[in-house]
Amino acid sequence: MKRIDRMFAECRAQQRRALIVFVSVGDPSLKFTRKLVPALIDSGADLVEFGVPFSDPMADGPTIQAASERALKSGVNLPQIMDLIGNLRVDFPRTPFVLFSYYNLILQYGVERLAADSAERGVDGWLVVDLPPEEDQEVRPALARHGLAKIPLLAPNTPPERWPLILEQAQGFVYYITVTGVTGARTKLPADLARQLSRIRTGSPVPVAAGFGVSTAQQARTVGEHADGVIVGSRLINVMQEAGTQKKAMAAACRLVRELAAALR
């Protein structure tokens, strides 16, 4: 069984929801990320999304944009990120890892080359933010050749007539964007979130995880009542930035993950 499938199966057996965390790799340094990821997994993260910093992250709000800028200033690049993932895979053979990127970066690296390197280093799937299914003719076959999942996104404003096209090709899990707009913590979630998630889960061949806007344990618990997994990114970055020192940032991140994980049990 593949790592993503096994993780969701184990969560179901334990009657809980999966906690998925987004990490902006290289913010503020690769050395910090190398320490952060194990700490988050030990604190309760079930799957890690490795965000590749990009100079024009159009789907991301101010928090992740700033994190990308800090990472780029530190000099991080995709080859370094792949090496980092490979090193982490040695220590965490069971935790699913997903590469979260924009297509331009993948194209520059080389689709086939990155797919091969991803499989070699232990990446389980890609989440390409700006690549609709009508334009993934190069990416999907490359991922299939190397046993990687292409994880799709659905949003509240995705026309229902497009759902079958997206869901029938879904692998790993479906990332449902809970709110319209860019990433970022929200004070409240949409009123129709439960109905939307219920409809999507009914038509999806794979688990559905929801993210964008989840910032508290209570919100995570609410989303988890209607989804198979909950994704948190901006709030994690925020608490680390607010902490001040890197030592305090690590402690704050782990504390948040423990709270979120407990809320999903």
Q: Which residues are catalytic?
A: 49, 60
Interior/surface letters 30-52, b for 16+ CB within 10 angstroms, e for the rest: bebbeebbeebbebbbbbbbbbb
- Alpha carbon distance 204, 227 (integer Å): 12
- Alpha carbon distance 203, 192 (integer Å): 17
Cβ-based neighbours of 44, under 8 Å, separated by 6 or more:
19, 257, 258, 260, 261, 262
Amino acid found at 167: L
Give 135-202 as a DSSP string.
G-TTHHHHHHHTT-EE--EE-TTS-GGGHHHHHHT--S-EEEE-SSSS----SS--TTHHHHHHHHHH
Give 205-228 as a DSSP string.
SS-EEEESS--SHHHHHHHHTTSS
What is the edge-to-edge ordering of all strands in the sheet holding 208-211? 149-150, 125-128, 97-101, 47-51, 18-24, 229-232, 208-211, 174-177, 153-154
Interior/surface letters 77-95, b for 16+ CB within 10 angstroms, e for the rest: bbeebbebbbebbeebeeb
